[in-house]
A = this chain, B = another copy of it.
Amino acid sequence: MPFTDVAAALQALRALEAKTHAYSHALGVMGHDAATAAPKGSFAGRGKTMGILSEIIYHLETDPEVGELLNFLESHQEQLEPAVQREVALLRKNYDQTCRIPSAEYVAYGVLLNEAQAVWEKAKKGNDFDAFAPYLEKIVDYNRRFAAYRNPALAPYDALLNEYEEGLNTRILDSFFAQLRQAIVPLVSKIQATKQIDDSFLHKTYPVAGQRALANYIMDVMGIDRQYCGLAESEHPYTTGFNTKDVRITTHYYLQDVAASLYSVIHEGGHAIYEMNIGPEYEGTAVGHAVSMGIHESQSRFFENIIGRSRPFIHYIFPKLVEIFPEQLAGVDADQFWQAVNKAEPSLVRTEADELTYSLHIMVRYELEKQLIAGTLAARDVPAAWNRLYKEYLGIDVPNDTQGCLQDSHWSGGSIGYFPSYALGSAYGPQMLLCMEQELPDLWQHIALGDLRQVKGWLQSHIHRHGSLYQPAKLFEMACGPFDARHYTDYLTKKYTELYHL
């Protein structure tokens, strides 16, 4: 339908956004149900339904009428509020990117990913990379092609990076990772040469009922309103937000690892606080979403590591830990707990890595992804390359692919270019902290009293409330000045020097 006035076009825009939001909300709830509550054998019927609804979304999003609507609004740019201009730009990006992929390829890729997921799960369980290799090869091919469709002006891997972090590229990342490596690798060596921290008490038996009580307590300390945020259990912890008043986090309780769920809850709680604090004026529009994976991860890791693994915070929560687990923590003091949850050592599995070595795991994946997309590494050669880089960056031998290149679900799920946002998210935090400390001189006194309102207030006003209004790098710069990885390496150096008396 041809539009004659901006008001009518804006109304059509809102209706479109409401509709696509409704579908993604429904799919989101189905996915959350699948991961937390659905009976194990129910996947087939759900897969069919989700496939049908996804196809409907695809047609809705690529409808030529959407193109006409965007054309009209773009040609009346000057009559639009800045937030609406940004909204139109975000929808344009999505429209073009989706339309440029031939629908037959889009559908075939969906089928491939569905199979790949099952093949990867089996391959991981059976340490059988060869079974997964042909799928990885195809997934890489599709991603390379899709990158060219979506953003032909960019190098393919840069186009993929842009899916997760608008504006990111390998030039930025190469220098970023080089800086990290230079600072972290010697720090790790120094730590390995000193006396090791004893964290064995973290691995006594911690009954799940107590861990549940701890999770509820932590959510209270974080000031997360349970009226609007659910807590469930799933194999891998995650956060999903349907709107600012309906966010869900999950955790996983391990009987012999009290820190696992504790820090999952703080991490996912950080994601949840972001989702719950996006400006309500953007609700239901393309601007009313978290802006990028990197910024999202910066929020979760800020709470998990910078607050949650800080000495003042641990001193605050430790009495509660002792109250819930008096036997397990008999003879342990708050400082020992603080040291134990910060113990750093090179390890095999990314999701279990400590704050210091985490980025090295990401670097391995970044290097491999670049080469895979460039075509200089074949999927079948990934295990050898993976193991070589783990040796080079982390100094360890990978005993099998299950704990090696088959460990993550990202590639089988089609996500290439996602991993770097984890490292970037970790690196954003310390610079945010510096700005926070400058604006709020008694920040740590409040944290030491378990009062996170200053932290949350700063993040809310500088990050959360803006949703996707600005590009992630711009948002960060407005809050903290130009991003500089040195703040991250300084933070790590200071923290680990103190922890290990280096």
In angstroms, Cα B19 to Cα A49, docked, is 8
* Interface 1/0 per residue, A32-74 and B, CB below 8 Å: 1100111111101110110011001000000000000000000
Q: Is the CB of B39 within 8 A of A25?
A: no
Q: Is the CB of A49 within 8 A of B33?
A: no
**Which residues 241-257 in A have Cβ within 8 Å of B in the complex?**
242-243, 245-248
Which chain B positions have C-beta within 8 A of A230? 37-39
Report if A39-B242 is in contact (Cβ < 8 Å); known contacts: A32-B33, A33-B32. no
Chain B: minimal CB distance from A234 (Å): 12
Chain B: minimal CB distance from A389 (Å): 40
Interface size on A, residues (CB 8 A): 40
In angstroms, Cα B167 to Cα A204, docked, is 64
A100 within 8 A of B: no
**Segment of A180-188, A221-229, A436-444 engaged in the interface with chain B:** A221-229
A27 within 8 A of B: yes
Q: Is the CB of B232 within 8 A of A46?
A: no
A478 within 8 A of B: no
Q: Is the CB of B38 within 8 A of A33?
A: no
Q: Is the CB of B227 within 8 A of A52?
A: no
Q: Is the CB of A246 within 8 A of B45?
A: yes
A22 within 8 A of B: yes
A interface SS class: helix
In angstroms, Cα B242 to Cα A46, docked, is 9
A29 within 8 A of B: yes
Q: Is the CB of B42 within 8 A of A228?
A: yes
A26 within 8 A of B: yes
Q: Is the CB of B26 within 8 A of A27?
A: yes
A18 within 8 A of B: yes
Chain B: minimal CB distance from A242 (Å): 6
Which chain B positions have C-beta within 8 A of A22? 48-49, 52-53
Chain B: minimal CB distance from A222 (Å): 15
Which chain B positions have C-beta within 8 A of A42? 228, 242-243, 245-246
A486 within 8 A of B: no
Which chain B positions have C-beta within 8 A of A18? 48, 52
Known: A46-B242, A49-B242; 8 extra A-B contacts, CB below 8 A, are A18-B52, A22-B52, A26-B30, A32-B33, A33-B33, A39-B246, A42-B243, A45-B246
Counting from the closest, the 4 A-B pairs by CB-CB distance are: A42-B246, A41-B227, A22-B52, A45-B243
A interface residues, Cβ below 8 angstroms from B: 18-19, 21-23, 25-27, 29-30, 32-33, 36-42, 44-46, 48-49, 52-53, 56, 225-230, 232, 242-243, 245-248
